[in-house]
Chains A and B, each alone.
Chain A
Amino acid sequence: MFIHEKMGNSYTPGLKVARRMVIRRERRLPLKGEVLVSSGAKVQSDTAVARTHLPGSVELVNVANPLGVDPKAVRKYLLKKEGDKISQGELIAKNPGLFGLFKSEFFSPISGFVETVSDATGKLTLRKEPVPLEIKAYISGMVEKVIPEQGVVIKTYGAYIQGIFGIGGETWGGIKSAVSAPDKVLDEGNLNESFSGMIVFGGSLVTLKALQKAVRVGVKGIIVGGIEDQDLREFLGYDLGAAVTGSENKGITLVLTEGFGAISMAEKSFQLLKESEGRLGSIHGATQIRAGVIRPEVIIPYSEEGIPENEVENQSKGFDLREGNLVRIIRDPYFGSIAKIVSLPLEPQRIQTEAKVRVAEVMLLDGTRWVLPRANIERIEE
C-alpha cells in the first residue's frame, strides 16, 4: 500500500540493491503470437520464449494517375483485388488504351499483398510480408506463468542492482571485474581480449577510451559508478536530450549506478558484483525518467539456491526517513557520499539559497555533520 506523506516530506524511493531477492520479469510480445515454452519450464537468458509476426510496412501507391484513369474507375483496371498476394515487379494494373494505343501498366514496387483500394483517391495500400519477431527469456530462471498468445512471466532468485542511468538494450554474459576497488577509474589499460563477451564492472568512472576499447574487444556490458557527460556525448555521437534510452545501438550496454562524473560505486553494489564474479548476469540500460519510471538493472541469478515458494517480489515503494538510517547524498555538496541521519528537524529551515525546506542533519563517515535538504538524500535499503 502507498504510504501517506506530508507535504515536502521525504519520499525517497532510493535505488534497489539486494543481495538476494525473487525477481520476476514479464516477457510480452507487442502483438498476439505464439508462446514457445510451457509453465514450469527452465529457461536460459537466450531461450526463445514467444514469437510473432509484425505486420510489414505499407506503401501507398497512386495507380489512377499512371494509368490515366479516373480514381473512381480504378478497380476496373486492377489485376489484383484486396487481399491478393503480389510480388515486386509484378504487373498489378493495366489500361489497355484505345485499340491498343496509349496503353499503360502498373507494376508492384514491393512483395506482399494488396490491403485496400480507394475509389476516392485511386490509390492502393500495399503491405509488405510480415516480419518475424522472437523474444528471449532475458534472465535464466523458471517460467512461472504463461500468458496465452502473448508471453510469459519468468521468475528467478538472485542478486539485484538497480542503476540510475544507462544506455543500450538487454544483454547477458559472465560477470567480471576490471578494477580492484569501487573508487578506481576504469580506463583502457584495465581491459583486454579476455573480457570479450563479458559484463564488466568498474569503480567510480569509465573513460571514453575504455568504452571504445570495450566495444573493440567485444565486452557486452559495463557497470560503473559514473561517466563524464562529455565522454558520453562523444561516444554516442550526439547530445542526449530527453532521458529516454535503451535503443542505442553502440555495441555495448552501459549501466551507471551513481550518476555523471567520477563517483565511487556504492560499496554494497561493488561487493555484490565482486562475489558474483564468474556467474552469468543479465543487464539492460533502458532508462526513462518521465511518466512510468524505468531504470537500468543488473540481475544475477543464483537459481541453484532454490526459489523461495511464497516470497513476493520485493518492490521499492518509498519509505519514511528515520534517525539512524544510512543515506546517500544525491546532490552537491558531498554528492555521492554516504551518511547517517542524526536528526530530522520538524520545522523547515533556511538553506544557503534562502529557500525554506525540510532538512535532515547527517553525519558523514569522517564524523563531520551537515544539514541537507531531505530532497537531496536517498535512503540506502539495508
Chain B
Amino acid sequence: MKSEITSILATDCGSTTTKAILIEKKEGEYRLIVRGEAPTTVEAPVEDVTHGVLNAVREVEELAGRPLLENGQIIKPQLSEKGVDLYLSTSSAGGGLQMLVAGVVLEISAESAARAALGAGAIVMDVIAANDGRVPYQKIERIRSLRPDMILLSGGMDGGTVSHVVEAAQLISAADPKPRLGAGYELPVIYAGNKDARENVKQILENKTALQITENLRPTDKTENLTPARQSIQSLFLEHVMAHAPGYRTLMEWTDAPIMPTPAAVGIMMQKIAEQHKMNVLGADIGGATTDVFSVFHGIYHRTVSANLGMSYSISNVFKEAGFEKILQWVPFDLNEKELRNKIKNKMIRPTTIPQLLEELMIEQAVCREALRLSFEQHKLLAVGLKGVQQERNISDAFAQTESGETLIKMMNLDMLIGSGGVLSHAPRRSQAALMMLDAYLPEGITYLTVDSIFMMPQLGVLSQVHPEAATQVFEKDCLIWLGTCIAPVGEMKDKKLLAKIRLQFPDGKSEEMVLNFGELKAIPLGGKETAKVFLQPAAGIDCGKGKGASFETEVKGGAVGLILDGRGRPFNLPKSRSDRMNKLKEWNSALNVYP
C-alpha cells in the first residue's frame, strides 16, 4: 500500500447487484467521484463473483474516464492516470452469512449468542435452546435441514453447570450438519460457552466440524462479552465461507483489507456516527429481500436483520405479516384486496420491475412503511438489557416497575434516524423518504432525519477500518443527506386543539411565531446547511422532549425537506373511517409536498 493514498476503489457485492465507488483526493479532500454497478455473478451461469466486480469497475472506469483495469485485474497502485492505490470490498452475495445459533437458555445464552451473530453481520436462521419448546429429535432434524454457513454454540456461565451445553453439542454432533457451500470442507462451529465444558465439547465436535473455541460470550449473568465471538465469526467467514464461494479466493487476493460482511461494515459506520456526534442513532437498510436495523443507544450497539421483510423478493411476506388493512391504511385512494394481492405477488415474481404509475409508487411506499415498522418491532425485542439479571432496585425503579430485558430503544431519546436502501435512497422526492420514516418509526421529541444518498455505507464502513479520514470526509460530504429535523410532541388531544406554540429564529435574524394544532403536519423551509433556534412551548400534558408542559429552547438543523412539525400525536392513531383517513393522508401528503 502506498503511504499517501490518493485514490480508492471499493465494491459491495450484494445478492443482486455489485456496486463500485471511486474516491479520489482532490484539493486536499477525499470525495466520491463516480459509482457504477453491474449484476452480481455468484450464481449460475457465471459462478464467479469477480466478473460482476470487474463489470462494475468497468463502468466506473468509463464514467471516470481513466483506466482502472488491465488484463482483467485492478491496476494498483495508481501511476499517473492509471489505477487506484487501495481496493476494498464487502459482500452479502449468495444470501450473506447464514448462521445457526445454539445456547442453553433461550432468554440468556441463546439470546446473547444471537446478538453476537447479528452484530457480526449474520442472518440468524434459527436459535436452538434447551427450553425452546422442541424435543431433541425435532432440533436435530432442524439443524440437519438448515445447512448453515456456520454455527455459534454458547451456554453456561463460566464455572457453572457443564451438562446442558454439552447436550447442545451432542445435538449438533447427532445432526452432523453440512455446510451450505460445497461439500468439500467441514462446517465451522464456534464454541463460546462455559470454559469448563471446552474439553467435552472438543471431544464431541472436533472430529466432525471445524471447531474454534473462544471466550464465553456470557461469562456471568450480568455480563456479555460479544467481541471475541464476533471476531471469530468474521475470521471464519473469510477462511471457510468466503473461500468456498465462487470466485472469492481471487477477490480476497485483490483486496487490501479482509472482505467484510456488508451489514458488519454498515454497523461500523452507524457506530462511528453515534460516537462522532455523541448521539443515539437508529438506522435501517431496506433491501429487496431483507431489512437490517441498527441502533446505538447510550453507546450500546445492536443490529438485527429481518430476513423476510423487503421490497421485492420478500414483499409478499410483508403483506402476509402486516395484513391487508395495515398496508391499505397508508394508501390515499381506493384499492380492493384482490387487486392489491395480485400487484404484490407480481412484484415478488418480477422483483426488478419499478413503479411507473404514481399509484403504484404510493402502494410500494405503503408497503415500505409496514416493512420498516415490522423490522423495527423485531429490533426492539432484541435490543434489550440482559435478561436473567437480578436488578438492584431503588425507589423510583419500584414505581416504574422496570424489569430486566426491557428494550433500550426509547424514541424520546433518539437523536438521529438514518434511512438506506433503494425505496428510501431513490424515492423520487426526499419528502417521501422523510414521511415513510416518520410513519414507520414515529419519532418523539426532536429527531434529525437523514438518508444515505446512494447506499455507500458498506464501502465506507470497510474503508473506515483502513483509512478513517477518507471514510469520514466522503461520508459527511457525499453520503449522508440531511432531510431535516422533526419535532413531534408526545401526548393526545382533540383534533385541532393547540398542541404547542413555536417561535423560530432563522439564521438571517428573522423570526416567526406559529402554532401547531393536534392532527397537523407542517414543513417549514430550512436549508441543508442552515440551523434555526426554536423556542417550544407545549400545552399542558404535552411533552416536546423536556417533560410534560415544559418549555425550552434548542437549535435545529435544516435539510432537503426542512423543519418538520409533526402534530399528529404520540401515540399516533389514524382515523378509523376510510374517508376520514384518506382525507388526512392527502392533507399530510400535501403539507410535506410528498406527491405531484
Contact = CB atoms under 8 A, between A and B. Distances in A.
Interface stretch (A33-41, A42-50, A370-378): A370-378
A192 to B, nearest CB: 29
Contacts of A76: none
Contact of A7 (B36, B289, B321, B345): B36
A315 to B, nearest CB: 6
A179 to B, nearest CB: 20
B352 A375 contact: yes
Interface stretch (A77-85, A95-103, A170-178, A351-359): A351-359
Contacts of A242: 308, 313-314, 316-317
Interface string A1-39: 010111100010000000000000000000000000000
Given A120-B200, A243-B348, A71 B354 contact: no
Nearest to A334: B356
Question: Which of A60, A71, A353 is packed against the most chain B CB atoms within 10 Å?
Answer: A353
A375 B320 CA distance: 26
Contacts of A317: 45
Contacts of B476: none
Interface string B94-111: 110000000000000000
Interface stretch (A133-141, A267-275, A289-297): A289-297
Contact of A259 (B316, B350, B361, B429): B350
A241 B353 contact: no
A71 B344 CA distance: 56
Please classify how large the interface on chain A is, using the bins under 10, 10 to 19, 20 to 34, 35 or more. 35 or more
Interface in B250-287: none
B317 A241 contact: yes
Given A11-B39, A57-B141, A335-B346, A373 B51 contact: no
A243 B162 CA distance: 42
B43 A292 contact: yes
Given A57-B140, A60-B136, A242-B313, A121 B167 contact: yes
B361 A353 contact: yes
Interface in A213-249: 228-230, 233, 239-243
B166 A118 contact: yes
Given A120-B162, A229-B345, A260-B345, A290 B95 contact: yes
Given A118-B166, A229-B341, A240 B320 contact: yes
A115 B140 CA distance: 14
B40 to A, nearest CB: 10
B163 A7 contact: no
Contacts of B44: 292
B574 interface: no
Given A2-B46, A120-B166, A333 B349 contact: no
B345 A352 contact: no
A354 B15 contact: no
Interface in B341-384: 341-346, 348-358, 360-361
A2 B352 contact: no
Contacts of B338: 228-230
A331 B337 CA distance: 18
Q: Is the interface of B mostly helix, strand, loop or mixed?
A: helix
Nearest to A6: B59
Given A118-B170, A315-B45, A4 B346 contact: no
Nearest to B42: A291
A4 B162 CA distance: 56
Contacts of B31: none
B350 A240 contact: no
Contact of B428 (A259, A292, A331, A355): A355
A333 B360 CA distance: 10
A91 interface: no
A17 B167 CA distance: 53
B94 A291 contact: yes
A165 interface: yes
B447 interface: no
Contacts of B429: 354
Please classify how large the interface on chain B is, using the bins under 10, 10 to 19, 20 to 34, 35 or more. 35 or more
Nearest to B340: A229
A121 B43 CA distance: 44
Interface string A116-149: 1010110101010000000000000000000000
A60 B51 contact: no
Contact of A125 (B46, B170, B337): B170
Contacts of A120: 162-163, 166, 197, 200
Nearest to B93: A291
B95 A291 contact: yes
Contact of B173 (A7, A116, A259, A373): A116
A352 B353 contact: no
A2 B314 CA distance: 27
Contacts of A291: 15, 42-43, 94-95
A60 B171 contact: yes
Interface string A59-100: 110000000000100000000000000000000000000000
Interface string B301-332: 00000001000011011011100000000000
B358 A60 contact: no
Nearest to A371: B356
Interface in A241-269: 241-243, 259-261
B47 to A, nearest CB: 10
A6 B429 CA distance: 25
B552 interface: no
Contacts of B316: 239-243
Contacts of B35: 7
B37 interface: yes
30 contacts: A6-B62, A57-B137, A57-B140, A59-B137, A121-B163, A123-B167, A125-B173, A229-B342, A239-B316, A240-B316, A240-B320, A241-B308, A241-B316, A242-B313, A242-B317, A259-B346, A289-B351, A292-B43, A331-B346, A332-B343, A332-B357, A333-B356, A351-B356, A353-B358, A353-B360, A353-B361, A355-B355, A355-B426, A373-B353, A375-B352
